[in-house]
Amino acid sequence: MSARRPIYFNPAAANARCDPRDIHGLKEFHQSLPNYAPTPLTPVPELAKELGVRAVFVKDESDRFGLPAFKVLGASWGCYRAVTAHLGLPPTVSLDELSARVKDASITLIAATEGNHGRAVAFIARLLDSRADIFVPRSMDESTQQLIGSEGAQVIVVQGDYDQAVQEAADAAQALDGGILVQDTAFDGYEDIPAWIVEGYSTMMMEVDEQIAKEGLQCNVVVTPVGVGSLAHAVARHCKSRDAPISVVAAEPDSAPCLHSSLRSGKPVTVQTSPTIMDGMNCGTVSTTAWSDLERFVDACVTISSHECHAAVEYLATKSIKAGPCGAASLATLKRLAVTEEAQTLLNKDSVVVLLSTEGPRPYPIPKEVSIEDTVGLTQILTTINSSNPSLSLTDGAGENQIANYLAAWFTHRGIEHHWIETVSGRPSIVGVLRGSGGGKSLMFNGHIDTVSLSSYEKDPLSGTLGEKDGRQVVLGRGSLDMKGGLAAALAAVSAAKASGNILRGDVIVAAVSDEEDASQGTRDLLAAGWRADAAVVPEPTMGKVVTAHKGFLWVEIDILGVAAHGSNPAAGQDAILDAGWFLRALEQYQQQLPVDDVLGPASLHCGLIQGGEEPSSYPAKCTITVEFRTIPCQTQESILSDLKNLLKGIVQENPKFRYSEPRATMFRPTQKLATDHPFVERALACATAVLGNTPQVSSAPFWCDAALLSEVGIPSIVYGPRGDGLHSKEEWVEVESLQQQENVYRRLIEDFCQ
């Protein structure tokens, strides 16, 4: 059983019918536009043979009136009808006459877009010699914005998503005298123009009827992309008004399943969207005018990943069909549908399938595969993504955006709820939640997605390849061990738990957090946002041990003060660096008195940095020493600062000329200590023993990690992760067998703890 979001099937749609619409003047209008010609309907016999159907055709919309998408069909008719209605003219007036009237009326056409709709509105505005203001979401790439602007439009970037762009466009149209909103998204009080846009797409379907009839065939299935649902609405009404009705299959991105979610809910719902290469389909809300017909007439709704779509783009290219991601979405959908048992109700040896390829080729980032379920494959993919911490690297670190986007796509592919947390720009964390039925305990896996710098790595730090070390198979690359392998094991365990079909009562949370290697921004953001669990596992590389305790740390800066003077004038100067020796000697004596913990052993300190002076020929006025304390539970920031103040006062009693500034803490992280007989520790050990056949060693760890922050807010936490080598060094790897073991233990723990 797969963990991915299931296909929605609606058997009742097979018998649903609607009356045909006679859209007066539509086809004649489109034929009056410059360079009108029907777009090609291209057969793909190899695909038909592969799928076991009679025929597959691709309706290629890569060039419609010189634009690379079908959108101009709806946008042109919508603009034409909206402007004629605004001016009180009949919908039979010629374009030349309408253009003359538009110029006198100072009309501005306004739209929001993910790309092609806005460009199409701008194209028609240019034909009518009117102004166009096109609102776009901030996620739109610069090249797409330039294409819209090349049609003469003013492009306005909104600091939000597509839905926010629609709202701002609507507000602008209402505020502007002569402003007309031409939007394919309907909402309360705005329904006529979206309905006209839907009508405009009917020309494409009329062309399909004529073209397929020339082949001596009759279409049985149409696969259509879905954004807000306007095209799908036109397709559905056309298909269900035929004497021999046609099955309608809707295609949506994993990352924007607004129709799929609405169909499953039985009512329109707005969904959170995340980045996809199918930009024009990246919509969170179904058009209100489309919803009721789509609910009745869509036979199946399929969600696809960006990677599946990319593969479809490449396949169509081998058949000399030029398609962008939104265009290839129909093919990716058909391929996914064809391998399901339920597809037999829609596809058989007599089926004639038409795929609507709605846009031509365009540049897009090559997506990574999100269907990977196994720990090793996930570790490899995560390792290939540069997520080096920008606040650590001498060279620019990439930050966590790219890996967070991948994880968002991974969760959405499976229909797993996820949340994006980003309080510091460019440093996001992702929280995935497999919701339980209620009444059970919640379990959190907290894994950081940043790595240390790539510059110290000897070979390819982003290889993610399989290799061999000491006779063991390993995954190589920066972060493979620290700690993308442990995170991958947690992700794979959650996916397996979802695929099993066993309903858990408690929630399983995967917090993929930023910045652990430096300031733990991600986990601090997570906790500040209110995320909690009944217990947590931090899958840092513990070499298979269960770690219940580790030291905290405190960084303290102390300024030893001197007096600046020329090196030739000792009477006027006081050497701050030389005086720092008094502090260092006292600190060494203090070190001998540090407390000892029964589990963690002795506390420790060291001087990590010393900075002073400006030039050899001058007495230094200041020497700054940074001391790191590795702390145990009996030590606090306040107690250590108090000790240092007393130490400094003691030096002054010996040397009245000794001067200093108050010690200041620059970073503090608490200790982690969970009793080895805590019920969660015992439960984790029992699960590990059942899977491995032996009980892991329980120990403390020399390093610090985010488990301490979780424990500080009352979440009992253990640190437990895979084996490997090369932490922060020139070559890093994680053992394959260890990854697989961790996944199995985590899955057992999920089933046991969250039941």
Q: Write out pLDDT tens, residues 152-181.
A: 999 999 999 888 999 999 999 999 999 999
The pLDDT confidence band at residue 395, using thresholds 50, 70 and 90, is low
The pLDDT confidence band at residue 376, using thresholds 50, 70 and 90, is very high
Q: Which amino acid is residue 227, in one-letter code?
A: G
CA 483/CA 210 separation, integer angstroms? 58
Give the model's pLDDT for residue 185: 84
Angle in degrees, CA 12, 16, 22, rounded to 5: 160
Please provide the DSSP assignment of 265-317 as one string.
HTS---------S-GGG--SS--HHHHHHHHHH-SEEEEE-HHHHHHHHHHHH
Instruction: Give the percent of the chain with pLDDT over 70.
Output: 99
CA 128/CA 33 separation, integer angstroms? 11
Average pLDDT rounded to a whole number, residues 350-366: 95
End-to-end CA gap in the chain: 20
pLDDT > 70? residue 1: no
Give the model's pLDDT for residue 216: 96
Q: Give the start-end residues of each E strand in 500-551.
A: 508-513, 535-538, 546-550
Instruction: Give the percent of the chain with pLDDT over 90.
Output: 90
**Sequence spans of domains, the chain:** 8-66+198-357, 71-194, 375-542+676-682+712-754, 552-670
Least confident range from 75-84, 393-402, 641-650: namely: 393-402
Please tell me the CATH code under which domain 375-542+676-682+712-754 is placed. Answer: 3.40.630.10
**Residues in Cβ contact with 264 at an 8 Å cutoff, skipping those fewer than 6 apart:** 8
In this structure, the number of other CB atoms found within 10 A of the CB of residue 164 comes to: 15
Please tell me the CATH code under which domain 71-194 is placed. Answer: 3.40.50.1100
Q: Which fold has domain 8-66+198-357?
A: Rossmann fold (3.40.50)
The pLDDT confidence band at residue 527, using thresholds 50, 70 and 90, is very high
Alpha helices by DSSP H, listed for 390-441, are 401-413
- Tens of pLDDT, residues 317-340: 999 999 999 999 999 999 999 999
**Residues in Cβ contact with 341 at an 8 Å cutoff, skipping those fewer than 6 apart:** none
- Tens of pLDDT, residues 412-457: 999 999 999 999 999 999 999 999 999 999 999 999 999 999 998 9
CA torsion 688-693-698-704 (nearest 10°) is: -50
Give the model's pLDDT for residue 518: 92
Give φ, ψ of 498 to 5 degrees: -70, -45
Whether the domain at 8-66+198-357 and the domain at 71-194 fall into the same CATH topology: yes
- Tens of pLDDT, residues 147-158: 999 999 999 999
Contact (Cβ atoms closer than 8 angstroms) between residue 57 and residue 44:
yes
Secondary structure string (H, E, C) spanning 318-361: HCCCCCCHHHHHHHHHHHHHHCCHHHHHCCCCCCEEEEEECECC
The pLDDT confidence band at residue 394, using thresholds 50, 70 and 90, is low
Give the model's pLDDT for residue 145: 94
Average pLDDT rounded to a whole number, residues 685-714: 97
- Hunting for tokens 């940095």 — which residue is that? 609
Give the model's pLDDT for residue 184: 84
Average pLDDT rounded to a whole number, residues 52-63: 97
Give the model's pLDDT for residue 104: 82
The pLDDT confidence band at residue 630, using thresholds 50, 70 and 90, is very high
Both tokens of 332, joined, read 């990716």
Cα 232 off chain centre by: 26
The pLDDT confidence band at residue 103, using thresholds 50, 70 and 90, is confident
pLDDT > 70? residue 714: yes
Average pLDDT rounded to a whole number, residues 484-496: 98
Least confident range from 22-31, 194-203, 457-466, 658-667: namely: 22-31
Q: What does the mean pLDDT of the chain come to?
A: 95
Both tokens of 617, joined, read 């020929």
Helix (H, G, I), strand (E, B) or coil at 373: coil
- Tens of pLDDT, residues 259-299: 999 999 999 999 989 889 998 899 999 999 899 999 999 99
Q: Which fold has domain 552-670?
A: Alpha-Beta Plaits (3.30.70)
